[in-house]
């Protein structure tokens, strides 16, 4: 029996995955749940902000380019919330142009396509002591 399956569901880290491509959120959600994480998803930054207020995540993985509120705006909004300064945020983008990340307070930027093994490794680094 794995350690993750022996823990009560509420003790497992909660990850918030934000992307306007449902294939990405569905795939990451399924794979991360298999690796001992609880997952909630959102289709854009404003949706993610609402969900974060309802169920505070342990870590956020967000696309940069999305409608309504992009990943950089989401990161800034999360940082303004109580406890938001300590929330690990991974930003991802497949856009060919470089994003101006100089004003962002994210913890890590990954270029898409993000290989799952790399994502899992970085989550483990940002959430030490978890699956």
> What residue has token string 């404003």?
46
| Residues with Cβ within 8 Å of residue 100, at least 6 apart in sequence | none
Whole-prediction pTM = 0.87
Q: How far apart are CA 65 and CA 122, in angstroms?
A: 21
Coil, helix or strand at residue 109:
strand
**Predicted pLDDT of residue 69:** 95
Sheet holding 14-18, edge to edge: 38-42, 14-18, 59-63, 89-93, 108-111
Q: What is the pLDDT along the chain (131 residues), one digit of tens a residue?
A: 344 455 566 689 999 999 999 999 999 999 999 999 999 999 999 999 999 999 999 999 999 999 999 999 999 999 999 999 999 999 998 876 655 555 667 888 898 899 999 999 999 999 987 76
- CA–centroid distance for 99 within its chain: 18
The two tokens of residue 30 are 């399924």
| Best CA proximity match to 107, nearest among 62, 51, 66, 70 | 62
């Amino acid at each position: 029996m794995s350690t993750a399956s022996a823990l009560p569901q509420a003790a497992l880290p909660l990850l918030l995955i934000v992307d306007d491509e449902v294939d990405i959120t569905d795939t990451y959600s399924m794979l991360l749940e298999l690796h001992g994480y609880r997952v909630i998803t959102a289709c854009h930054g404003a949706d993610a902000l609402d969900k974060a207020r309802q169920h505070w995540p342990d870590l956020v993985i967000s696309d940069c380019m999305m409608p309504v509120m992009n990943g950089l705006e989401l990161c800034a909004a999360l940082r303004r919330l109580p406890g938001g300064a300590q929330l690990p945020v991974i930003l991802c983008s497949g856009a060919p142009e470089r994003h101006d990340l100089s004003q962002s307070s994210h913890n890590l930027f990954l270029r898409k396509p993000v290989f799952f093994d790399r994502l899992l490794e970085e989550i483990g680094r940002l959430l030490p002591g978890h699956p």
